[in-house]
Amino acid sequence: MISPKQFIANKKTTIKEAMEKLSSLGKHYSHNILLLTDKNENLEGSVTDGDIRKAFLNGATMETTLQEIGSKTPIVAPEGMPDENMLQLLKINKIQSLPIVNDDGIVVGIKKLEDELDYGRSDNSYAIIMAGGLGSRLMPLTSDIPKPMLKVCDKPILQILIESLKYYGFNDIVINIRYLSDIIVDYFKDGSDFDVNIQYIKEPEPMGTAGSLGLIDNGILSEKPFLVINGDILTTLNFRSFFDFHNAAEYDFTLCGRPYKVKIPFGYPVIEGDTVTEFKEKPEFVHLVNSGIYCISPELVQMVTKNEYFDMPDLIDAAIESKKRIGVFPLREAFHEIGRIETYKEAEGFYKKHFLHGITTDWYMHNS
pLDDT one-digit tens code per residue, 50-61: 788 888 878 888
Predicted confidence (pLDDT) at residue 232 exceeds the cutoff of 90: yes
Looking at every residue in the chain, the average pLDDT score rounds to 84
Is the separation of the CB atoms in 92 and 69 below 8 Å?
Answer: no
Backbone angles phi, psi at 276, to 5 degrees: -85, 120
> Which sequence spans correspond to the domains of the chain?
5-115, 126-366
pLDDT band (50, 70, 90) for residue 343:
very high
| pLDDT tens string 205-217 | 989 889 888 888 7
Q: Where are the alpha helices (DSSP H) in the chain?
A: 15-24, 49-57, 66-69, 83-92, 157-167, 181-188, 208-211, 239-249, 312-321, 341-351, 363-366
Distance (Å, rounded) from C-alpha 221 to C-alpha 300?
Answer: 10
Q: What is the pLDDT of residue 131?
A: 94
Predicted confidence (pLDDT) at residue 28 exceeds the cutoff of 70: no
| pLDDT tens string 32-50 | 788 888 887 788 888 887 7
281 CB-contact burial (10 Å; exposed 0-12 / middle 13-18 / buried 19+): exposed
Return the number of other C-beta atoms located less than 10 Å from residue 43's C-beta: 19
Look at 28 and 10; give whichever has higher pLDDT: 10
Q: What is the pLDDT of residue 346?
A: 95
In this structure, whether the domain defined by 126-366 belongs to CATH 3.90.550.10 is answered with yes
Predicted confidence (pLDDT) at residue 119 exceeds the cutoff of 60: no
Measured N-to-C along each axis, helices 157-167 and 181-188 cross at an angle, to the nearest 10 degrees, of 50
CATH H-level, domain 5-115: superfamily: CBS-domain (3.10.580.10)
Q: Where are the alpha helices (DSSP H) in 214-306?
A: 239-249
How far, CA to CA in Å, does 151 sit from each of 141, 159, 271, 348? 11, 9, 50, 9
Confirm whether 5-115 and 126-366 share one CATH topology: no
Q: What is the pLDDT of residue 361?
A: 34
Predicted confidence (pLDDT) at residue 362 exceeds the cutoff of 60: no
Can you give the length of the chain in residues? 368
| pLDDT tens string 318-342 | 999 999 999 999 888 889 999 999 9
pLDDT band (50, 70, 90) for residue 366:
very low
Distance (Å, rounded) from C-alpha 269 to C-alpha 276?
Answer: 6
Q: Which of 91-95, 221-225, 313-317 is predicted least confidently?
A: 91-95
Residues with Cβ within 8 Å of 219's Cβ and at least 6 positions away in sequence, in order, are: none
Distance (Å, rounded) from C-alpha 146 to C-alpha 1?
Answer: 48
Predicted confidence (pLDDT) at residue 3 exceeds the cutoff of 80: no
Residues with Cβ within 8 Å of 63's Cβ and at least 6 positions away in sequence, in order, are: 14, 15, 16
Return the number of other C-beta atoms located less than 10 Å from residue 161's C-beta: 24
Is the separation of the CB atoms in 270 and 283 below 8 Å?
Answer: no
Closest CA to 199 of 226, 168, 239: 226
Average pLDDT of the segment spanning 231-247: 90
Distance (Å, rounded) from C-alpha 227 to C-alpha 308?
Answer: 21
Distance (Å, rounded) from C-alpha 362 to C-alpha 261?
Answer: 16
Q: What is the pLDDT of residue 217?
A: 76
Fill in the amino acid letter for 309: Y
pLDDT band (50, 70, 90) for residue 104:
confident
Strand partners, 161: none
